[in-house]
């Protein structure tokens, strides 16, 4: 009975749609740290944010990266889509490869930021929703070039 109730609650959760950027520059990948007071605070993530009603994912990503990091990017291919259920909410993430076009990132909407190399990536703690993407990044060195 308990597992049926959990399944029903999970199916009724609102799904939050998120666009995230894999911003590569000179063989490094930009990651940001969530603010302590935010959901999953203190964990590292790929920068981006929630999609507004009727907003295209690419437009959302451009807006979020400008608001949170003061950067302009060229958005490339969709690398991965992930839907993940947390106990309190579900998220649907779309990860796009991006190229930095203008400005040096500033931690405006996050606690901190870092440019990491492939060997350094697993030294940071990420949310569970990013696990498959982390595996993909480790097995696709061509993305880092």
Q: Which domains does the chain have, with CATH numbers?
A: 14-137 (3.90.79.10)
Side-chain half-sphere of 1: how many Cα atoms within 13 Å? 0
Please state the separation of Cα 132 from the chain's center in Å: 12
pLDDT of residue 9 exceeding 80: no
Is residue 57 within 8 Å of 33, Cβ to Cβ?
no
73 DSSP β-pair partners? 100
Predicted confidence at residue 145, as pLDDT, reads 85
Residue 54 has pLDDT above 50, yes or no: yes
Confidence of residue 2 (pLDDT cuts 50, 70, 90): very low
Least confident among 5-9, 33-37, 77-81: 5-9
Indicate the pLDDT class of residue 4, thresholds 50, 70 and 90: low
What pTM, to 2 d.p., does this model score?
0.88
């Amino acid at each position: 009975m308990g597992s049926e109730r959990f399944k029903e609650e999970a199916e009724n959760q609102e799904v939050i749609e998120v666009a995230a950027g894999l911003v590569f520059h000179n063989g490094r990948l930009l990651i940001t740290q969530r603010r302590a007071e935010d959901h999953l605070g203190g964990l590292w993530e790929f920068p981006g944010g929630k999609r507004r009603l009727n907003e295209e994912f690419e437009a959302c990503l451009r807006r979020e990266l400008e608001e949170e990091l003061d950067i302009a990017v060229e958005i490339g291919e969709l690398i991965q889509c992930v839907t993940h259920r947390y106990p309190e909410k579900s998220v649907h993430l779309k990860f796009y490869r991006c190229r930095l076009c203008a400005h040096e990132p500033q931690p405006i909407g996050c606690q901190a930021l870092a440019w990491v190399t492939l060997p350094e990536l697993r030294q940071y703690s990420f949310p569970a929703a990013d696990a498959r993407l982390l595996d993909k990044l480790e097995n696709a060195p061509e993305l880092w070039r």
